[in-house]
Structure 1
């Protein structure tokens, strides 16, 4: 059938019965009467023309060979056609019959039918120009006027390509329509189809570029989005080009051991939830029964503060649903056993809090105690402040020495517990509820470019960045850095330095917060002085933020590294724009975010890359391919960040990272990974190191994090994140949007998808370990377990998973998906995080 142009496609309204009857036609008396009248979209009617329905079916199927049967679809529609039918209803019946076939190719066929249906439904008789649509959206108040003139819009008209919609699976088009396109959700007025969404985003991101380079940058952004090479988080889709400036994805804060700091933490959670961010919290405070104000008051413990935090998070809505928070607690905390049960529905009401998710934070010493089934003593910031500080550091041996010193100290009052029992409690909770998470604090503080303590991760456990507690609410609303350190110099002079002031010590960059007594340092101005005493410190408080993006690796050629670097560069440019132009409800968070320039770039479509090569996630050969993917990803993330640094300069706080010393993830990864495959580097890392040192660092404080990406992967038409697929076809629900999803080419014998349910948990952890090697942050590392009949998961299996995390250097473990957790069935998709993601933030679901 000859190709139709867009005008022809939009003009088709009806069809004809197939030339051949079904294989088993019903008896003539039972055959339904064919419609003789078509009611067109403008309200007029015309006689039914059979040729057109066949034309629709044949055209929609023309790209898929023998994987689809267009005549069968047409027959199905004809057999159920009423006497009179509208052209829109006829089109919808064709689409629905394609969807009912339940394969990737039929979903693409449905997309080819759905695209012109969308254009007609939203735009009417003809698709408007970009200028026309934007003028209408500005007039209706759903978009702001962007700084482009008539000549610019004329040039942009030659960039947008609506024909791309005809090569998009139905579920991606539908998801973008319902979730990402700008519309008046109160009246139901729709404005944008897919390509308009991508061009609006590209125009907003390039608006501040120099005029002579702006249209080219729009073109590059637009092509990257439209060709589905890069992925943006939900806030970018729905806020770029509008009055809304909430782009933050992930928010991590730590509250200190004071009434003021705990109250500030609740305030942060409340305001940042309203700004579309997901929350990761850690309350580093004393425990139930500890003295307050010299013993005048007995501490009530963490549960009342968790209750307040949960309500603060759920007080504000994100796209029609409450916010979400994962709170972190130490395995050595005296209240850990109680906290581990807080989400369990069988817990008593006074020991239950289902408003939060919980992550158990442990270290290597805890793991060793659990492995040997030895007892350990609990502690917190009040009972053992130095030990607590070492817990959140890269000095694992220092922690061990201090622990053993206190263990031998008869004056130190000890409360003993069994780490193995606590661990099994948490692991069983994960199996039953899916949402009891794990974090390895040693690895988070060791395999990292950051020099300062990391206390926790974020809502989805892929972000690992430093933060510090606030002690004064006014600091949150400051538009400048507030930390300082007061020192006495040799000779008696007292001097106050900004906490983050850059200094040089023995030829290495440090910041003032690292000063130690007796050191000789040189200021940025070239003055050399010796610190005699540290008199007082007011550490810079910080809420850690991370802005996200992702690369769709399956949509980038394996042999085109230039294209991969370009995709990385554009993703970082997008992140830069969002950091610089976001509205910060709490101004000091904007100050520190811009000083850090934290990025988290993940991957989408890894399962498809593996399937096309018929590789498994649980074999050495499969892990070698994962190594190739992970190495390429980090290498070009660094190269792209260097490019950004040369264009706009280094982040103000780059001296707080190891990048300035030429740090690379290959320096600090866990060497146990080497035994998992025959791994060889494809890129010249030492040359890259020299370039980093010569540049003075890179353009961002961190670069890579593997988030779930459950939302944006639907728009891409790809499997999400670095996960294997659960099944080749799935029903996926996000809020009020339900789609029928299929893995790309899953109905092609050339592809071999491995189900996540068929990968043993330890084998999945080994696959994650390969990615963790090249990751400066962490992974939302899901596990899957299919439980058959009355099968019981033994303690040995659960402990083996935990110890594998430590053996292979994995920082975090996210959902533990089982087909029995919370009643989720494998046949329904079986991922616990389907329910969990529904309560997650708009940013962290990417």
Structure 2
């Protein structure tokens, strides 16, 4: 949802919309960048505003009270632009210390970051903080227009405060390290390549709860996306190679189904129904990428794995766009077709001159066809987390490496103790899956790196997310980005995060053109505390410290 307007009626109307969406199992992404900052003048009463935090406290209580279809408590993420003067208080919302009246323990928080801020972090320049009541235009601008307006506001003396950009950035990193929250999402990258932002006034103001959806919003349009995921593990042929023809067929079926959901779905709010009918976006993603790499015996951070990942995303986009053109030929393009970049002949990969498509002839044919038929859907690709459905399907979730070779997962469907069956098969073939290896695996919390009797090649292949360089995860995500017209839920992993390491990692993600990132996973948050061992341990099996997969 777009930010409520800077007026009381709009703020409380947005509470109502969020409650309605949450009641019907919607995960909420909500901008709050239009609400005036603390201390700003309220002309009607000649008083001063308390800023965004008290309103977010009310939202926090509402999200906890209105659960998702009676099955789990509501979930929401609030996005704030980094020039907002309440940004420092925003960073403290998830803290476990301080004034409880200014904490929101049920809300996730995320930053909506313009490139200008990151450039000033690079150059160690100052960063100006404003109240939206003084610079209302900044919320609806991105790229060069935002940069010019921001600098003009500075020159006109409208800033409430200046702070070294690196100091604010380090505070953002500290919040990530302490809470895993304060997700880093990049405003300009999101808008620059978005199919829906071709016309002035159409702006992506935030992502969703899981940071994979990027759609335009305004006061009258609430972005909605119908999600689905392809199980890649089911698309390996008997020869051990990707079955591209089968993948095409699956994608065509999935797009057809997801498009039909647009028509038959129930929309809790008028704004959601209007937006979805106008743009008809869907979000087809994937899961089981790690399974594919295991079966092909590819280390997750190998060049071959990165290339295969990119080709998979390219093929899914090709098949999805072709399916959408098929639907447009039968039913007509979506109502907002003329307002998209695609209608102007610009496909999403065109924004990435370094992208090298493998199936060039199919892309050429697709361009010709889309120019004639249009597309049924404005957006088609988004990689969601898939935590629960991947467990049900028995594969690793979305695009992530495994977090352990042995872990317990807790989902709404129950608890699952999972052991890496691919590792077991390889070790059995070598005669190494014995009591010694099993005990060592438990003692090492699911890591094989210190099990020296296992061949080095196997240990490299079965590294966990904690043992893979995060640069490799970012590079793989950047390589598939040209073939994702929305975004991807990209978790990053750091066993013992420091502000210095995090600063470098997220700056690198920005430079590589990543649109959004999701949780920062730190090692202590993924472990289950080891139970105390009493005297019964001599006769009973010892309690195993099994890592827990975060959902």
TM-score when normalising by structure 2: 0.85
How far apart are the structure 2 equivalents of 1:802 and 1:428? 13
Mapped contact 2:259–2:377 kept (Cα < 8 A)? no
Give the aligned partner of residue 702 of structure 1: 379
Residue of structure 1 in register with 2:332 after alignment: 649
Matched, 1:561 2:239: no
Classify the secondary structure of the residue corresponding to 1:280: strand
| Contact 1:760-1:785 at 8 Å conserved across structures | no
Aligned counterparts of 1:715 and 1:273: Cα–Cα separation in 2:
24
Cα offset, 1:823, TM superposition = 6.7
Q: Tell me: CA distance 1:295–1:762, structure 2 relative to 1, closer, same or farther (3 Å).
A: farther
Matched, 1:816 2:520: yes
CA-based RMSD of the aligned residues comes to 2.2
How much does 1:728 deviate?
Answer: 2.9
Q: Distance in 1 between matches of 2:217 and 2:203?
A: 7
For the 8 Å contact 2:491–2:518, the answer to whether it is kept is yes
Which residue number corresponds to residue 400 of structure 1? 147
Give the deviation of 1:717 after TM superposition. 1.1
Counterpart Cα distance in 1 of 2:254 and 2:208: 21
In the other structure, the counterpart of 1:786 is 495
- Once the 2 structures are TM-superposed, how far is the Cα of residue 562 of structure 1 from its aligned partner? 3.2
The answer to whether the aligner puts 1:632 opposite 2:315 as a matched pair is yes
User: Could you tell me which residue of structure 2 aligns to residue 303 of structure 1?
Assistant: 53
- Residues 640 and 729 of structure 1: is their aligned pair in 2 closer, same or farther, counting only changes over 3 Å? farther
* Maintained 8 Å contact 1:608/1:743: no
Partner residue of 1:132? none
Contact 1:375-1:417 within 8 A present in 2 as well: yes
Counterpart residue number, 2:455 = none
Query: How far 1:616 moved relative to its partner?
Result: 2.6
In structure 1, C-alpha distance between the alignment counterparts of 2:366 and 2:299, rounded to whole Å: 31
Query: Quick one: which of 505, 511, 520 aligns to 1:801?
Result: 505
Alpha carbons of 1:559 and 1:359: their partners in 2 closer, same or farther (altered >3 Å)?
Answer: closer
2:65 to 309, 315, 339: 315
Q: Where do residues 122-521 of structure 1 align in structure 2 (5 Å cutoff)?
A: 252-283=1-32, 284-294=34-44, 296-318=46-68, 319-390=70-141, 393=142, 396-410=143-157, 412-451=158-197, 452-469=202-219
Check whether the contact 2:153–2:159 (CA below 8 A) recurs between aligned residues: no
Give the deviation of 1:376 after TM superposition.
Answer: 1.3
Q: Does structure 2 retain, via aligned residues, the 8 Å contact 1:599–1:703? A: yes
Q: CA separation of 1:772/1:829 partners in 2, compared to 1, >3 Å: closer, same or farther?
A: farther
Contiguous gaps of at least 5 residues in structure 2: 430-457, 531-544
Contact 1:762 1:800 in 2 (8 A): no
> Are residues 803 and 630 of structure 1, via their aligned partners in 2, closer, same or farther at CA, if it must alter by over 3 Å?
same
Q: Whole-Å Cα distance in 1 between the matches of residues 350 and 525 of structure 2?
A: 39
- Give the Cα–Cα distance (whole angstroms) in 1 for the partners of residues 253 and 318 of structure 2: 15
Q: Distance in 2 between matches of 1:418 and 1:590?
A: 43
Distance 1:722 1:822 in 2: 18
Task: Give 1:757's match in structure 2, choosing from 450, 463, 466.
Answer: 466
Cα shift readout 1:629-671 (whole Å, capped 9, x = no counterpart): 1111211111121122222221112222212122222111375
CA apart distance, 1:720: 0.7
Q: 1:630 to 1:413 in 2, by over 3 A?
A: closer
What is the CA–CA distance in structure 2 between the aligned matches of 1:718 and 1:293, rounded to whole Å? Answer: 57
**Cα offsets for 1:304-352 (capped at 9, x unmatched):** 1101111222212235321100000111110101111110112321331
* In 1, Cα distance between equivalents of 2:295 and 2:283: 27
Q: Secondary structure at the match of 1:376?
A: strand
Specify whether residues 598 and 413 from structure 1 end up closer, same or farther in structure 2 by C-alpha distance, changes over 3 A only. closer
Structure 1 residue runs of 5 or longer lacking an equivalent are 1-251, 470-540, 788-792, 838-846
| Secondary structure class of the residue paired with 1:820 | helix
Q: 1:340 to 1:401 in 2, by over 3 A?
A: same
Give the match's secondary structure for 1:740: strand
Contact 2:131 2:160 in 1 (8 A): no
- Listed one character per residue, the Cα deviations across residues 692-744 of structure 1 (whole Å, up to 9, x for unaligned) are 1111x211110111110001111211111011111233211113611223455
Q: 2: distance between equivalents of 1:825 and 1:580?
A: 47
Give SS of 1:731's match: strand
Per-residue CA deviations over 1:200-242 (Å, capped at 9, x if unaligned) read xxxxxxxxxxxxxxxxxxxxxxxxxxxxxxxxxxxxxxxxxxx
Residue 23 of structure 1: aligned partner: none
Tell me which of 284, 297, 311 is aligned to 1:601. 284
Distance 1:600 1:829 in 2: 31
Structure 2 SS opposite 1:266: helix
Q: Within 1, Cα distance between the matches of 2:300 and 2:466?
A: 12
Partner SS for 1:432? helix
Structure label with greater radius of gyration? 1
Whether contact under 8 Å (1:431, 1:821) holds in the other structure is: no
Distance 1:275 1:550 in 2: 21
User: Offset of 1:830 from its aligned partner?
Assistant: 4.8
Contact 1:327 1:359 survives alignment (8 Å): yes
Find out whether 1:737 has 2:411 as its counterpart: no
User: Cα–Cα, structure 1 residues 420 and 822, in superposed 2: closer, same or farther, change >3 Å?
Assistant: farther
In 2, Cα distance between equivalents of 1:670 and 1:727? 37
Contact 1:719 1:743 in 2 (8 A): no
Q: 1:547 to 1:446 in 2, by over 3 A?
A: same
Query: Closer, same or farther in 2 for the Cα pair 1:774/1:347, shift >3 Å?
Result: farther
1:748 aligned partner: 425
Task: Call closer, same or farther: CA 1:717–1:559 in 2, change over 3 Å.
Answer: closer
CA distance in 2, matches of 1:785, 1:315: 33
SS for the counterpart of 1:713 is helix
Could you say what secondary structure the match of 1:400 adopts? helix
Residue 261 of structure 2: aligned partner: 578
Is contact 1:331–1:419 with CA below 8 Å preserved after alignment? Answer: no
Report the counterpart of residue 444 of structure 2 in structure 1: none
Q: Report the alpha carbon displacement of residue 592 of structure 1 after superposing the two structures with TM.
A: 2.3
Partner of 2:391: 714
Measure, in 1, the Cα distance between the counterparts of 2:269 and 2:304.
48
Give the total of aligned pairs: 494
Q: Residue 551 and residue 418 in structure 1: after superposition, are their counterparts in 2 closer, same or farther (change >3 A)?
A: same
Task: Quickly say closer, same or farther: Cα 1:824–1:330, change in 2 above 3 A.
Answer: farther
* Counterpart-to-counterpart distance in 2, 1:585 and 1:796: 44
Which digits, 9 at most, give the CA deviation of each residue in 1:406-427, with x for residues without a partner? 33335x3541122222222222
1:514-553 residue CA offsets vs partner (Å, 9 max, x unmatched): xxxxxxxxxxxxxxxxxxxxxxxxxxx1010001001112
Change (3 A) 1:305 1:822: farther
Distance in 2, matches of 1:384 and 1:350, equals: 28
Q: Which residue number in structure 1 is paired with residue 547 of structure 2? A: 829
The offset of 1:353, in angstroms, is: 1.2
Q: Give the conservation status (yes or no) of the 8 Å contact 1:553–1:604.
A: yes
Asked if the contact 2:85–2:160 (Cα under 8 Å) also holds between the matched residues in 1, the reply is no
Alignment of 1:44-55 (within 5 A): none
